[in-house]
């Protein structure tokens, strides 16, 4: 958490905290904490425009989130970790977009979207709308405007369900 607070304006301090967290999470053999380490490390690398390293970190996060999901017993716990995995998938896709690989981002965004669709979270419609928007942006960047418009319309339909004016405006 401390790493996340610093990464946008003091990446050196953020890196120190994240590496400390990594050492502790490996000592504890706690897959979720290791996954979160790789997720936040990916954000740091992405912020530093080190896209290859960011992609590898997001891939590692996804692997550890999958291990944690397999270990957990309750549906609620599995859902929480699945949504954290969804964030890693989303960042992986965003990372691909930044290096001009938008076509590869779409199936990853769709995987992240499915995890939200399977959830019972109160912000579900908002999150689904956001993923549709990200898919629309991928298609837009590839100049596939019909597909972009289709996903933008899906995004709006989900955002209207949220009854949140700020979300609808986006």
- Classify 51 in phi/psi space as left (phi over 0), alpha (psi -120 to 50) or beta: alpha
Q: What is the tens place of the pLDDT at every residue in 22-60?
A: 667 777 777 898 999 899 899 989 988 999 999 999 999
What value does the mean pLDDT of the chain take?
88
pTM of the model: 0.85
Write the pLDDT tens digit of every residue in 147-161: 999 999 999 999 998
């Amino acid at each position: 958490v401390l790493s996340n607070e610093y990464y946008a304006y003091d990446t050196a301090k953020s890196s120190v905290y994240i590496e400390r967290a990594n050492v502790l999470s490996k000592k504890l053999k706690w897959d979720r904490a290791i996954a979160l380490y790789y997720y936040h490390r990916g954000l740091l690398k992405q912020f530093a425009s080190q896209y290859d390293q960011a992609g590898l970190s997001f891939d590692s996060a996804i692997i550890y989130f999958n291990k944690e999901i397999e270990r957990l017993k309750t549906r609620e716990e599995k859902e929480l970790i699945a949504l954290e995995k969804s964030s890693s998938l989303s960042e992986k896709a965003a990372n691909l977009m930044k290096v001009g690989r938008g076509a590869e981002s779409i199936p990853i965004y769709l995987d992240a979207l499915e995890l939200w669709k399977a959830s019972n979270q109160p912000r579900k419609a908002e999150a689904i709308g956001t993923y549709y928007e990200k898919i629309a942006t991928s298609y837009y960047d590839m100049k596939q405007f019909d597909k972009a418009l289709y996903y933008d319309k899906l995004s709006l339909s989900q955002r209207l369900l949220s009854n949140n004016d700020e979300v609808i405006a986006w």
